[in-house]
Amino acid sequence: MPQITYREAIRHALAEELTRDPNVVVMGEEVAQFNGAYKVTDGLLATFGPTRIVDTPISEAGFIGLGVGASMLGIRPVMELMFWSFYSVAFDQILNNAANVRYMSGGQINCPIVIRGPANGGTNVGATHSHTPENVLANHPGVKVVVPATAYDAKGLLKSAIRDNDPVFFLENTILYGDKGEVPEAEYVIPLGKADVKRVGADLTIVTYGRCVIHSLKAAEVLEKDHGISVEVVDLRTIRPLDFDTVLASVKKTNRVLIVEEQKPFASVGTQLAYMIQREAFDHLDGPIHRLATIDAPAIYSPPVETEQLPNPARVIKAVLAAMA
């Protein structure tokens, strides 16, 4: 199976869906002529032309809102946010209009829009560019939220997102863009809302998603080798809809849970998971639910310290050892 990068996998998903459905339009800042701020859309303009691959001004509220309006008439816009952090200037369009229009119209209007882009810290760009808003987004009924960790998942999930009739918010990671993974050449899709057990283990379940999956897998190797602890890593892949059955099955098997997330702790995705785990697997737990999150402050700039603010393999190991104690 060919190895391609996470970035290429997303690009292939875009190209395949652009080919498959003439209503798909890719739109965003620098997506066309500049070939993408992070080169995700590299070459798409040459292949699909300026009607399908559209450069926008720096005007997120305007172009995201335009995409929402166009989607109501059957266009399938795939909007790139250069950083998901910029969602704050388009908040009303994303979370009032896209999220609510189906409901407020009594189900008469669909909004098949995809908004995608990177949402992560760890690149020393300071607090304004390092938001991870999956918890904020997933708090809104009506939307779907996807956070892929691997090239394979990114491609299969994005294709499903583009075909979905509901608004889907797809959160990538600039640090993962260059990571290679095996991706089949034959077409495939991965349904939204299906978690993936990335590593099978017996002693403790790490529930995680996004780049923290990679940290957790690295940590799990060390824990197995150096501490004899067998860690199972459950990658949610999609935050909403949520494959809680897979989480539950793993927790019932290992009886110990650590949630790892690149989120600020207060009212995070992990907070919701912890509530659900205690509610539905209380009798299966051998100890309290543990959670490793970003250290609770705006993203620090200082490069070596930002690494410590975020979850990382060393912090995951420490958190697992604490949970096993």
Partner 1 sequence: MSKKPSAIADIKSGSAVKATDYALAPINAALSSPQRIELYRTMIRIRRFEERSLRAYQGKNVSGGTNIGGFLHLYIGQEAVAVGCCSLMGKNDHVITAYRDHGHAIAVGMDTKPLMAELYGKITGCSKGKGGSMHYFAPDKNFWGGHGIVGGQIPLGTGLAYALKYQGKKGAAMAFMGDGAVNQGAVHEAYNLASLWNLPVVFVIENNGYSMGTSQARSSAGQLAKRAEGYNMTWGQCDGHDVYEVRALMDKHLTLAREQSRPSTVEIDTYRYRGHSVADPDNTYRTKTEIEEYRNKKDPIQVSLHKLLAEGVLTEALADKIDAEARAEAESAAEFADASPYPTPDDIQKDVYWESDHPAERKSEGRLFFD
From residue 173, how far is each of 69, 177, 179 by CA, in Å? 27, 6, 10
Number of residues that bind partner 1 (CB under 8 A): 56
Nearer to partner 1, 2 or 191 (CB): 191
Bridge pairing between strands 290-292 and 257-260: parallel
* Residue 240 interacts with partner 1 (CB under 8 A): yes or no: yes
| Residue among 173, 174, 272, 312 that touches partner 1 (CB under 8 A) | 272
* Residue 241 interacts with partner 1 (CB under 8 A): yes or no: yes
The residue with tokens 């705006």 is 298
Nearer to partner 1, 134 or 203 (CB): 134
* Residue 106 interacts with partner 1 (CB under 8 A): yes or no: yes
Nearer to partner 1, 166 or 224 (CB): 166
* Residue 243 interacts with partner 1 (CB under 8 A): yes or no: yes
Piece of 36-44, 163-171, 215-223, 308-316 that binds partner 1 (CB under 8 A): 163-171
Rg (Cα) of the chain, in Å, rounded?
A: 19
* Residue 248 interacts with partner 1 (CB under 8 A): yes or no: no
- Give the shortest CB-39-to-partner 1 separation in angstroms: 25
Distance CA 54, CA 49 (A): 9
Peptide bond into 313 cis (omega under 30): no
Work out the number of other CB atoms within 10 angstroms of the CB of residue 301: 12
Distance CA 129, CA 182 (A): 30
Distance CA 14, CA 158 (A): 8
* Residue 74 interacts with partner 1 (CB under 8 A): yes or no: yes
* Residue 116 interacts with partner 1 (CB under 8 A): yes or no: no
| Residue among 15, 37, 61, 175 that touches partner 1 (CB under 8 A) | 61
Piece of 12-20, 106-114, 207-215, 289-297 that binds partner 1 (CB under 8 A): 106-114
Q: Which of 129, 131, 215, 290 is an active site residue?
A: 129
Distance CA 232, CA 217 (A): 9
CB 38, CB 20: distance < 8 Å? no
Q: Which of 8, 17, 29, 60 is an active site residue?
A: 60
| Residue among 85, 97, 205, 294 that touches partner 1 (CB under 8 A) | 97
| Residues between 20 and 59 with contacts to partner 1, criterion CB under 8 A | 25, 51, 56-57, 59
Report residue 173 as tokens: 């990671």
Contacts of 99 (CB under 8 A, 6+ apart): 140, 141, 142, 143, 167
Nearer to partner 1, 59 or 302 (CB): 59
Catalytic annotation present for 129: yes
The residue with tokens 């399908």 is 52
* Residue 62 interacts with partner 1 (CB under 8 A): yes or no: yes
* Residue 96 interacts with partner 1 (CB under 8 A): yes or no: yes
Nearest to 94, CA basis, from 68, 131, 130: 68
| Residue among 71, 130, 254, 268 that touches partner 1 (CB under 8 A) | 71
Cα dihedral 58, 71, 10, 192 in deg (nearest 10): 130
Q: How far apart are the first and last CA of the chain?
A: 41
Which residues are at the interface with partner 1 (CB under 8 A)? 25, 51, 56-57, 59, 61-75, 92-93, 96-97, 101-110, 141-142, 144, 160, 163-166, 191-195, 238, 240-245, 272, 276
Annotated active-site positions, please? 60, 129
